[in-house]
Chains A and B, each alone.
Chain A
Amino acid sequence: MRKTLMAATLAAVAAGLAVQAQADPPFDPKDPKMAPFIAGAKRSGYTFAEPETRAMQDDDFTNPGFLWVEDGKKMWSKAEGKAGKACQDCHGDAEKSMKGVGTVYPRFDPHAGMLLTLEQKINQCRTERMGAAEFKFDSKPYNAIATYVKHQSFGMPIAVQTDGPVAPYFDMGRRLYYERRGMSDIACKHCHEDLAGMHMRTELLSQGMPNGFPQYRLKWQTLGSAQKRIRGCFDEVRAEPYPVDSLENTVLELYATWRANGLRVESPAVRK
Chain B
Amino acid sequence: MFKPISWGIASAALAVILAVHAQAASPKKPPERGYFDVSRMAPLTDQPGDPVNGRVIAAGKGLCLSCHVMPIPEQADHGDVGPELAGVGSRLQPPELRLRIADPKVLNPDTPMPSFYKKDLNRVAKKWQGQSILTAQEVEDVVAYLGTLK
Contact = CB atoms under 8 A, between A and B. Distances in A.
Interface of A: 11-12, 14-16, 18-20, 22, 179-186, 190-191, 194-195, 198-202, 234-235, 238-240
Contacts of B79: 198-201
B73 A182 contact: no
Contact of B81 (A20, A181, A199, A240): A199
Contacts of A234: 123, 125
B10 interface: no
Given A183-B131, A184-B114, A185-B114, 13 more contacts: A11-B73, A12-B71, A15-B73, A180-B121, A183-B114, A183-B128, A194-B112, A195-B112, A199-B81, A201-B77, A238-B127, A239-B124, A240-B126
A183 B126 CA distance: 10
Contact of A183 (B65, B110, B133): B133
Contacts of B118: 185
Nearest to A235: B125
A39 B88 CA distance: 40
A18 B77 CA distance: 8
A19 B121 contact: no
B81 A239 contact: no
B121 A182 contact: yes
Contact of B123 (A18, A190, A201, A239): A239
Contacts of B133: 183
Interface in B59-74: 65-67, 69, 71, 73-74
Contacts of A185: 105, 114-115, 118, 121-122
Interface residues of B, number: 29
Contacts of B71: 12, 16
B interface SS class? loop
Interface of B: 65-67, 69, 71, 73-74, 76-81, 105, 110, 112, 114-115, 118, 121-128, 131, 133
Given A182-B124, A183-B133, A200 B73 contact: no
Nearest to B126: A240
A118 B112 CA distance: 32
A19 B65 CA distance: 10
A198 B71 CA distance: 19
9 contacts: A14-B73, A15-B74, A182-B123, A182-B124, A182-B125, A183-B128, A194-B112, A199-B80, A240-B123
A234 B127 CA distance: 13
A239 B122 CA distance: 8
Contacts of A239: 122-125
Q: Counting chain A CB atoms within 10 Å of each CB, which of B66, B118, B125 scores highest?
A: B125
Nearest 7 CB-CB pairs, A to B? A15-B73, A190-B112, A181-B123, A12-B73, A200-B79, A200-B66, A19-B78
B87 to A, nearest CB: 13
A246 to B, nearest CB: 12
A238 B80 contact: no
A199 B77 contact: yes
Nearest to A8: B73
Q: Counting chain A CB atoms within 10 Å of each CB, which of B77, B80, B112, B122 scores highest?
A: B112
B112 A183 contact: no
A119 to B, nearest CB: 24
